[in-house]
Every structure is written in C-alpha cells, then in structure tokens.
A and B are shown apart, each in its own frame.
Chain A
Amino acid sequence: SYVLTQPPSVSVAPGQTARIPCGGNHIGTKSVHWYQLKPGQAPVLVVYDDYDRPSGIPERFSGSNSGNTATLTISRVEAGDEADYYCHVWDSSSDHVFGPGTKVTVL
C-alpha cells in the first residue's frame, strides 16, 4: 500500500514562512492535494494538483511536488493559519491516501 509521511508539527513566527513536507515513493508522479483542518470546522482545500489554489485561498499558500517530496508553503504566516494540514494523493493500489497530518503552530 502507498504510504505518505509528514512531520507531526511545524512551528513558525508570524510573518515568517512555514514549509510542510509530504513524503511518498515517487510522489512527484502523482497529483498532491492539501487540506486545512481546524477544530469544529469543515476541512478546507488549500492546494490541489500540486500547486493550484482554489478561489478564495490566499496567494500565501503555494505547493510544489518533485521526486519523493511534495511541499505546502505558507508565506507570511498569520495567526489564523494555525491548523492541521493533510496531504492527499490517489494511488491505483491504495485508492485515496492521506498523510498523518502536520500541526502548524504560530508562535
């Protein structure tokens, strides 16, 4: 089965840049999507197809994907960005697979 890895947590000061890696075997050959989860709220899609942003998502959110690592980058981090972030891919043998999630803490 296909497995995704993420660091449990990332801490960043306001105004700085947070980078959240998502590791997977040859993940660069797959499309990676990212979701933001906050307690008690509906999850929000923040990046799809590696680097595209849905309407309404700030340009501060960007993505990249190459080799064995995809990365969600949050520039000029704000307090409201504090949340759990999950990467997601589809794999022919495993169907939809999610990473373990990364908790972003704004210091």
Chain B
Amino acid sequence: QVHLVQSGAEVKKPGASVKISCKTSGYTFNKFAIQWISQAPGQRLEWLGYIHAGNGNTKYSKKLQGRVTITRDTSASTVYMELSSLRSADTAVYYCARDLAGYRSVYFDSWAQGTLVTVSS
C-alpha cells in the first residue's frame, strides 16, 4: 500500500528557510515523481514543483523559482522540499503527493497528510 508521511509542523521567522521531508513506502521509489502542493489559508491549492525520484530531474513553479529546492534521498525513499526567504504569505499547509501518468496529463494519486508551516515574527 502506497504511503507518504511528512515531517511535523514548523514555525519560522521571516527570512528563514524551512525543509520538509516526505517519506514514502509501499512502492518502487525510483519509478515515480513526487509533487509538492501548498494551500494557504482560504486559498486554492497551488502547485510548487516536482522531482522524479529516479533521475532527480526537477521542475519548479515560475512563481517560486529561486526560492524552492526539491531533493531526494533514494536510500531513504524520502523527498525534501526546502523553501527559503520565507515571508508571511508562505504560511500554508504543504503537501507531497505521488503522481501517475494519465491519458493527457499526470494526476496525484496518493497524498501525505500535510505539514503546516507558519511564518511569523
């Protein structure tokens, strides 16, 4: 059974960085990509970027380009998302999700429980 578990809630000051982990199990880690999605309070879901666990290829949203870095540790079947230069607008729940190739696009078939990141001085 596919299972994704994220690290716990974080409280950070403006300007700091945060690194969230997403530990996967129940499937062959190297064969899939892991996507990151956020949801700020009262806002819609927002795509942040992804990493292919096999070859390490990444792609980031234009909005966050330069502030977000996604990495993986294949030995631990874990993916990390680091967001730097935090500002109050980055306060959100951050999710990781596995993607599957659909008919015309990928979709996110298994999600983790989310990590609340609060940015406050």
Residues of A within 8 A of B (CB): 30-31, 33, 35, 40-45, 48-50, 54, 86, 88-90, 95-101
Count of chain B residues near A, Cβ 8 A: 25
Complex: how many Å from CA A90 to CA B106? 8
Interface residues in B11-52 by Cβ distance below 8 A to A read 35, 37, 44-47
Q: A41-B113, A42-B111 are in contact. Are A86 and B45 (CB under 8 A)?
A: yes
What residues of A have a CB within 8 angstroms of the CB of B109 in the complex? 45, 48, 54
Q: Is the interface of B mostly helix, strand, loop or mixed?
A: strand
Complex: how many Å from CA A91 to CA B79? 25
Complex: how many Å from CA A48 to CA B108? 9
Partner of B45, one of A30, A42, A98: A98
Q: Could you list 16 examples of A-B contacts with CB < 8 Å?
A: A31-B102, A31-B104, A33-B107, A33-B108, A35-B111, A40-B113, A42-B113, A43-B95, A45-B109, A45-B110, A49-B103, A50-B103, A86-B44, A96-B47, A98-B44, A101-B45
Cβ of B105 within 8 Å of any chain A Cβ, yes or no, is: yes
- Tell me the smallest distance from the CB of A74 to a CB of chain B, in Å: 19
Partner of B104, one of A30, A88, A98, A101: A30
What residues of B have a CB within 8 angstroms of the CB of A96 in the complex? 35, 37, 47
Closest chain A residue, CB of each to CB of B113: A42
Contact between chains at B107 and A45 (CB < 8 Å): yes
The 3 closest A-B pairs by CB, nearest first: A90-B105, A96-B47, A98-B45
